[in-house]
Amino acid sequence: MNLDEYIKDFMLHPEKYYHRIIWYINVVRVGKRKLSLGYCTYGKGIAFVTGDPLTVMLVDRVSVRPPLDDGTPGYCSDGKWCLNRKCPFSTGKNRLKVDVEEIERGLKEAGYYDFGTYACGNVVFNRPVIELRRRK
């Protein structure tokens, strides 16, 4: 796809390039902190881990541009913060020092990892489902 085709397709079908982030609010406890997880519907995995409620309100979707024929690489608007190692656009670093794979395993064991079924919006937990220790 060249740049002109991309722009035309983007204008006609923006839903192909904007992907929702589904937030699981207060689902994990690390020490005294409650963390929220952002599940990316493009990369199909946990992309964001935050203890900041403002992030949950501001990051509600990502914009993804495919690689172009002229050699321009693909791009995600939030790839530099993304923790999903399965996504080709993820370049983020885990600054909170939590093991995302351990969180995913814990959610699967607790029966809460079927993220595709919650495509309607964010999910708020009254109490954290998983308790972790901070990695060193």
* Burial tier of 38 (Cβ tally within 10 Å: 0-12, 13-18, 19+): buried
> Could you give the CA distance from residue 19 to residue 76 in angstroms, rounded to a whole number?
10
Question: Exposure pattern of 75-105 as b/e (b: 16+ CB <10 Å)?
Answer: ebbbbebbbbeebebbebeeebebebeebbe
What's the distance, Cα to Cα, between the start and end of the chain in Å? 44
Q: What is the pLDDT along the chain (136 residues), one digit of tens a residue?
A: 888 998 899 999 988 999 999 898 998 888 888 989 998 989 888 899 898 989 999 999 999 998 888 888 989 999 998 988 889 998 877 666 667 777 777 777 877 666 655 556 788 888 888 887 665 5
Q: What confidence score (pLDDT) does residue 135 get?
A: 58
Task: List the chain domain ranges.
Answer: 3-127
